Amino acid sequence: MADKKTLTFALMDAPYENPRSTTAMRLIDIAVRRGHDVNVFAYEGAAALAFTEQKPHANAVHGRDVDEEDHPLPHRWIGALLGAAAAKGAKIDWVNCGLCVDERGVNQAVEGTRRGTPGDFWKFATESDNTLVIPTR
């Protein structure tokens, strides 16, 4: 890909709280499917996006069992993004803020993501072609 770029995203929202998380996943998906490399710095609540202990659940109100409910799990979305990137020859370097992870007890992260510090975000921002910070309100 002649115009392959490296884009950095800083995410701050915890899973299941705001559509910003969904939009961020959509953006990353588009970027890697176009062959761009992507850096992600998951900060504050976003450090829980990659937590593999997220569990699907049934929905008693609507009478649906676990399979019927098919509850979305952000850690699976991240796994899918990593797979989509690999298929396109792109790379996702997903860093979960270590202090944020420890504070929340969400240390079990999706394989292919790693633990880091805000220093990684600084490095991402200085070395990538562009950076988008998606802040919490």
Partner 1 sequence: MEDRTIAKYLLIESRDPFDSNDVAHWHGLARALVAEGNEVTLFLVQNGVFPARPGTHSAALSAVADAGVEVLVDEFSLRERGIATTALTRGAKASPLDVVIDQLADGRKAMWH
List contacts with partner 1 (CB under 8 A). 3, 5, 7, 19-20, 23, 26-27, 30-31, 34, 36, 129-135
Shortest distance, position 32 Cβ to partner 1, whole Å: 10
The CA-based angle 102-115-88, given to 5 degrees, is 140
CB nearer to partner 1: pick between 52 and 131: 131
Kindly state the tokens that stand for 103: 């504070």
Nearer to partner 1 among residue 80 and residue 132 (C-beta): 132
Q: How far is the CB of 1 from partner 1 (least distance, A)?
A: 11
Residue 119 burial by CB count (10 A; 0-12/13-18/19+): exposed, middle or buried? Answer: exposed
Least separation, in Å, of the C-beta of 55 and partner 1?
26
CA dist 74 and 132 (Å) reads 20
